[in-house]
Amino acid sequence: MVNYLPPLIGVIGKTNVGKSTFFSAATMTTVEISNRPFTTIKPNHGIGYVKITCPHLDFGLEACNPRTGYCQNGNRFVPIELLDVAGLIPGAHMGRGLGNKFMDDLRKADAFILVIDASGSTNEEGNPVPPGTYDPIEEVKQIINEVDLWLAKIVSSDWQKFSVSVETSRKNFVDALYDKISGLSIKRSHVIEVLERIDLTNKRPSNWKEEDFYIFAKELRKTAKPHIIAANKADLPTAYENIERLKKEFPEVPVVPVSSESELALRKAAKMNLIDYIPGDSIFFIKENVKLTPQQEVALKYIEEKVLKRYGSTGVQKVINSIIYDVLKKVVVFPVEDINKLTDKNGNILPDALIVDHEASPKVVAGLIHTELEKGFQYAIDARTKQKMGEGSRVYDRLVFKIVSTI
Ligand SMILES: Nc1nc2c(ncn2[C@@H]2O[C@H](COP(=O)(O)OP(=O)(O)OP(=O)(O)O)[C@@H](O)[C@H]2O)c(=O)[nH]1
Ligand SMILES: [Mg+2]
């Protein structure tokens, strides 16, 4: 059985802040975008990419043959899953706006991209207001609070029945709780860690109060559903100071300035063969013999001046790389059959790229590729050093390796 699944990242935030624009830019799929609250109702599901230097360059090869994702000018784009959902507003847990029930689509998410309107041009309800009139710090606090209340609701549902069953059957509380929230794809170790941290391990479940659920949900969110802040609409001048304030206010979370609209425009222009642009780059080139319309010229100039020169990129790619590497602490590894040619058994060069935990052993990675490969695992060989890697060794970013297995 193949067990590998790419990370699933939820795109969340207040309504009308640019979540779908971010999603569309990252996945290059067309979705509905408009300047009014609650444009998105049904979730949008798509593939985005982590961008890394392709190992084929290190080995002096001309190209590679990705089975999934793609490689462009030595940049390997490795697939992740993105899910764009409806927007939250304060009181969503009480059913305001579209409520928070739709967040259930994100139960299996590994992490969240919290898209905010850093320019302050939408109010609490997502209605357009003059830029700079709404404070994005409030927005972050309110949305995170809604996420916590959503999680608390899942944990506390049917609690009475749950506590009776735990207390009368003398079931292990941690195991029972872990089972109860298994739909959230949270590790058992995270549940234990959180209960210990907030000193709830030994409290009788029937004695849990509303604040216990809330604190548990909050800590569980921090540990098991971490997030990054995509400070969107960073092209608007009212965002400049807000971005600095956000970084100070939330030092434990990466805050990345983003202009999703700019990224979407650049990718579209590249697709139309007007410009050369690689996602995440700090520059683009207008193609030779291309005649831009005055409108296109103004738009590209705007992006160059207001976004690329100021921030070094549009931020969309940076958010995805940062959530995978800095927030989730993952690395990308490349299993091959032939460590000299870097091919699979059909001669494809570096066909697979897997996003795995930075602390994973080669044996664990073998298990992601196939259950049988892990069962018969003997050792791995690092294609760079030609050294053996045993069960106790750890993978590293952009490792190219062969797994030797008896099965
Ligand atoms: N200036 C500027 N506007 C942006 C940017 N990104 C998105 N917008 C605009 O913000 C508005 C809302 O964009 P959407 O992507 O529909 O927002 P959403 O968060 O998905 O909204 P809902 O689905 O309604 O919750 C649109 O008018 C976009 O053009 C940006 O980087 N800069
Ligand atoms: Mg939307």
pLDDT tens digit sequence for 224-254: 999 999 999 999 999 999 999 999 999 999 9
State if residue 393 touches ligand 1 by the CB under 6 angstroms criterion: no
Which residue has the least CA distance to atom 10 on ligand 1? 18
Residue 356: the pLDDT is 98
pLDDT on residue 118: 98
- Please tell me the total count of domains within the chain: 2
Q: What's the domain range around 390?
A: 331-405
**Residue reference for tokens 């509380």:** 173
Same domain for 294 and 253?
A: yes
In the structure encoding, which two tokens stand for residue 242, read together? 């807000």
Reported in sequence order, the residue ranges of 58-157 that DSSP labels E, i.e. its strands, are 70-72, 75-84, 111-117
Ligand 2 centroid – CA 59 distance (Å)? 42
The residue nearest atom 21 of ligand 1, judged by CA position, is: 16
Residue of the nearest CA to atom 7 in ligand 1?
A: 18
- Give CA–CA dist 60/251, Å, rounded: 40
3-state DSSP assignment of residue 91: coil
Task: Please report which ligand is nearest the Cα atom of 118.
Answer: 1
Q: For the chain, which residues score pLDDT lower than 70?
A: none
Asked whether 44 lines ligand 1 (CB < 6 A), one says no
Q: Could you say which of 325, 340, 360 is where a domain stops?
A: 325
Is residue 162 a contact partner of residue 180, using CB atoms and an 8 Å limit?
Answer: yes
Q: Give CA–CA dist 104/297, Å, rounded.
A: 43
**Which pLDDT value is given to residue 170?**
79
Confidence (pLDDT) at 407: 80
pLDDT value of residue 202: 87
Pocket perturbation via mutation, ligand 1, pick of 22, 33, 84, 268 by most ligand atoms within 8 A of CB: 33
Mutate to test the pocket of ligand 1, among 17, 29, 41, 42 (most ligand atoms within 8 A of CB): 17
Residue by residue, DSSP assigns 313-337 as S-SHHHHHHHIIIIIS-EEEEEE-S
Do 233 and 290 reside in the same domain of the chain?
yes
12 and 136: one domain?
yes
Q: How far apart are the first and last CA of the chain?
A: 13
Tell whether 79 is covered by a domain.
no
DSSP helix/strand/coil, 47: strand
- Model pLDDT for residues 169-182, shown as the tens digit of each residue: 978 999 999 999 99
133: left (phi over 0), alpha (psi -120 to 50) or beta: alpha
Instruction: Look at ligand 1, atom 23, and give the residue with the nearest C-alpha.
Output: 40
Same domain, 20 and 122: yes
Backbone angles phi, psi at 118, to 5 degrees: -70, -15
| 399 CA from centroid of ligand 1 (Å) | 38
CB 87 within 8 A of CB 97: yes
Q: Determine the Cα–Cα distance for residues 308 and 282; give it in Å rounded to an integer.
A: 6
260 Cα: distance to centroid of ligand 1 (angstroms):
8
Q: Is residue 50 part of a domain?
A: no
Picking from 302, 325, 348, the residue at the C-terminal end of a domain is 325
Cβ of 260 less than 6 Å from ligand 1: yes
Residue 130: give its domain's CATH number: 3.40.50.300
